[in-house]
Chain A
């Protein structure tokens, strides 16, 4: 049996500035950027200097902002881990641009940049392609354009959307994703213009950050309730950087309500938890687990399966100080290989884009 070693499912890369995308933008857009006030999207998910945004050890290193150059990502995020594969997540917020053609141009440029400057240069790299989800038809067009590239394994969607992702307006995207053997990744972030919580705009980034877990829950509610997994039985969804320790309580509640309320959604033939366990996976960071081992054991027990968690460093965000702390303390030894590579390995096999590889990680 092949043992890849370590698959990092959430590694952030981003253009250092909009000018980085110029080689991939038509002259019209270059002129627009040079002459107007637009210097790229502004609604970034993380405040630049907030402690969570960059690990302290990386901040103190001279040179480029972490995640902007391949040399630095190799040195900071790939080599130290003995990473076999890393899935690049670019959260440059092109989905917040209202102008649909500009959004589509930026999406094309980011994807071409990912292909030329990352995927072509390091065989360990895979990536999620970005799409202008603001106009689903244009998003589908982008999937058709680059969706067969051997480096793309996923479509990147920000967690906060204009409408919940189960809504049928998004179904053409899922149809295209399935056809191109791509997973759908729902990633922390997004700025659709309405509040990040069901109860309005919170004052603090801390609140908004914590509330992203609630957004992920709303998205799962939608995907199942709208029958997306019945309509697209092959669809695979990854929830990234929104936590997962909330999942057991959420599944119990959703299953219980389904029993009483399923008449309105008769296409949801199975308990919701069955769909979510079959179609969804969750990246490890942030784990948000209790510090004592017994508490962690209970959470894992409540998940009722070992298959759901996919390792991620979430580079360069600050969730742990030492690599050894990337896995929650007290994690049973039997689970380590599953989380470090095997769950992701099995999960992404359907893409056909992970060739066998040898080698072991630092553990």
Chain B
């Protein structure tokens, strides 16, 4: 939906503060990353391109999965033009801070060293083209997440720059994210005081559901909620929060209405099966309530608006952080995204203050 242009300053005074926890910055062209790659990996890219796990292609309903009005006049792809993004997103909505989560597909490459080189390049590009140019932007560190040591090294390297505020992994990984192979990532993240952001996407080592490969994009898109839940279950049951008590995890673009029912199911099963997981010192729901944050986009829309209030109370308002998902088609507008009127204090928490606290923004 295209909003009519208004004067940013006037809008800003009348609006609550907004922190956008999910913006997708894109490469302006296929060759844009090459200057950031050493010769050996430039050649790799030229000859072999990107090579992830094949077999998980579900075409989005629009090119680049983008809003049709998000194509900049420059002709570059949606999300790649900083000037256009400033106007259409940051200025338009008076956004205090935006968190960039680039979905360039480098973190899950089959060739792990290549994945690491690409991740370094993406992070260097983010610094040069985004963080250094726009003070309202922060970014996630892209890492070769399937190799703990290489991933940790990039967290430590890129994490030197204060513009990086989280470590990005995708929701479908080769093993569930609680497994030990990922623990070096968490160690490095905790060292730097960075949360892990788990974002919709990626391809694991098997089908995208526990019952095989679906046929349609809608199943892939709704299915992100199932992948997120599986990751949450893994992180909790593997005792990751016992080993890393200060680790915080952000679930990005996975929805949030499923969070309470998962707590109930996990707790009920744990009460029976706790001898299998003696390393857990608390009920699973307690880990959910203290270590996880969830972004709001795509906003949940219960059939009856009052049910939204029930869900907010069950999830906990402190857990939620607003996101637009700009420039994607299922973009949430901060003015219209909430399905019910909410008290201003609640809206302000979700729109900005929870994120300001989590990401330690001014």
Closest CB in chain B relative to A249 CB, distance in Å: 4
> B233 in the interface, Cβ–Cβ < 8 Å?
yes
Are B206 and A200 touching (Cβ within 8 A)? Answer: yes
Partner of A214, one of B226, B268, B277, B311: B226
- The distance in angstroms between the C-alpha atoms of A287 and B229, with both chains bound, is 18
* Cα of A203 to Cα of B237 in the assembled complex, Å: 9
- Please report the C-alpha to C-alpha distance between residue A262 and residue B221 in the assembled complex, in whole angstroms: 12
B221 touches A197 (CB 8 A): no
Q: Evaluate whether A249 and B211 lie within 8 angstroms (CB atoms) in the complex, with A218-B219, A265-B218 already known.
A: no
A207 touching B265, Cβ below 8 Å: no
Whether the pair A199, B211 counts as a contact (CB closer than 8 A) is no
B286 within 8 A of A: no
User: Pick the contact of B269 from A197, A201, A206, A302 — CB < 8 Å?
Assistant: A206
Chain A, Cβ-Cβ closest to B266: A210
B153 at the A/B interface (Cβ < 8 Å)? no
A204 proximal to B (CB < 8 A)? yes
Contact digits for B246-259, partner A, Cβ 8 Å, 1 yes 0 no: 00000000010110
Say which residue of B175, B206, B237 sits within 8 Å of A204 (CB atoms). Answer: B237
Query: A222 to B214, Cβ gap below 8 A?
Result: yes
Q: Contacts A202-B237, A207-B237: A257 and B218 contacting too (C-beta < 8 A)?
A: yes
Cα-based distance from A286 to B222 in the complex (angstroms): 24
Residues of chain A within 8 A (CB-CB) of B307 are 248, 301-302
| Chain B residues with CB under 8 A of A241 | none
Within 8 A of B (CB), among A238-296: 243, 245-246, 248-250, 252-258, 260-265, 273, 286-290, 295
Contact A264 B216 (CB under 8 A): yes
Task: Decide: A298 and B310 in contact? CB cutoff 8 A.
Answer: yes
Question: CB within 8 A of B234: which of A202, A243, A246, A289?
Answer: A202
B126 to chain A, nearest CB (A): 26
A271 to chain B, nearest CB (A): 9
Tell me the chain B residues, 309-344 only, with Cβ under 8 Å from chain A. 310-311, 314, 329-330
Query: Which among A50, A213, A226, A273 is the interface contact of B303 at CB below 8 angstroms?
Result: A273
- Residue numbers in A under 8 Å from B178 (CB-CB): 202-203
- Give chain B interface residues in 188-229, CB to chain A under 8 Å: 204-219, 221-223, 225-227, 229
Residue of B nearest to A242 (CB): B265
Q: How distant is A107 from chain B, measured CB to nearest CB, in Å?
A: 20
Q: Which of B210, B300, B304, B311 contacts A198 (CB 8 A)?
A: B210
Q: Which residue of the partner chain, among A200, A222, A286, contacts B176 with CB atoms under 8 Å?
A: A200
A217 to B255, CA, bound (A): 15
**B103 smallest CB distance to A (angstroms):** 17
Check B273 for interface membership: any CB of A closer than 8 A: yes
The residue in B217, B222, B266 that gathers the most chain A C-beta atoms within 10 A of its C-beta is: B222
- Residues in A neighbouring B229, C-beta threshold 8 A: 211, 214
Asked whether any CB of chain A lies closer than 8 Å to the CB of B354, the reply is: no
Question: Which listed residue (B221, B230, B269) contacts A209, Cβ 8 A?
Answer: B269
Residue of B nearest to A198 (CB): B227
Question: Could you list 8 A-B pairs, sorted by A, with CB under 8 Å?
Answer: A164-B213, A197-B227, A198-B172, A199-B177, A202-B237, A214-B226, A222-B215, A265-B216
